[in-house]
Amino acid sequence: MQFDEMTSKMADGNGFIAALDQSGGSTPKALKGYGIEEDAYSGDEEMFGLIHAMRSRIITSPCFTGEKVIGAILFERTMDGTVDGKPTPQALVERGVVPFIKIDKGLEDEANGVQLMKPMPELDALLTRAKALGVFGTKERSVINSANREGIAAVVKQQFEVGRQVLSHGMMPIIEPEVNIKSETRAECDQILLEETLKALDALPEGQQVMLKLSLPTKPGLFDPLVDHPKVLRVVALSGGFKRPEACIELAKNRGIIASFSRALLEDLRHQMSDDEFNRSLGGAINEIHAASTAKAHSPA
């Protein structure tokens, strides 16, 4: 796939994005969920080797194809690794899956009810390398914990600044201002985020587009103006801590939004499974998430 083909697949593809981007801090938890305890490895190299083996097993599964999984978000080390002897982005593209790279380096401490992204001084070099490997776009995450307009505006401002840097490299940014689903002011957070994001989108130069990755809103359909915005290529949703059944129910209530799930995709997979068991479990999860991304429930009047 060339860049234009990837753009078309992201705009109109009938499927969802798999988030395979757990990074250093979240890797032990991801491995534990996969059935590998921390005493099974020593040091970062062994840990990252095990998580790469898990991701390779997912990517090479017969059910993991561009028919239902239209994109995949990679951790930097996964991007730099190989699957079946090929660079991981190339292995994905050959399966019809559009590759993305997680670029944020974690979160700052909370201030004004939000957590901004840490500085990314080496971002230009990473983007140059990713582009050369055939990566289509990026994903960068901030977190909103409470309905503080100043804080939420700062999150959106930083996200779009990074997004413009990504666009300058000829890549597609997925802007991810995650609203904490446990926030006591979640509905207010959703509304303020919608307003601030619409302002930032309107300020983008004509002809530029971004993607958005958002927590599922408390009010179904709230993000319809973002789905319909000409400067948004696609809106995707994170599971945000919901188990897969609940995440899929909430997703199906929101038209035009597809999944970009991580935990909700991988939650039933175990290292100890036979290949048949693994492929059957992954295939079931893919089918369930695909259905919620493409067959929408009727929104309440």
Catalytic residues: 176, 213
Bridge partners for 139 per DSSP: 102, 174
- Distance (Å, rounded) from C-alpha 109 to C-alpha 280? 41
Write b or e for each residue in 27-58: b if 16 or more Cβ atoms lie within 10 A of its Cβ, otherwise e: bbebbebbebeeeebeeeeebbebbbebbbbb
Cα(116)–Cα(164) distance, rounded to whole angstroms? Answer: 17
| Cβ neighbourhood burial of 185 (10 Å; 0-12, 13-18, 19+) | middle
> In degrees rounded to 5, what are phi and psi of residue 22?
-55, 130
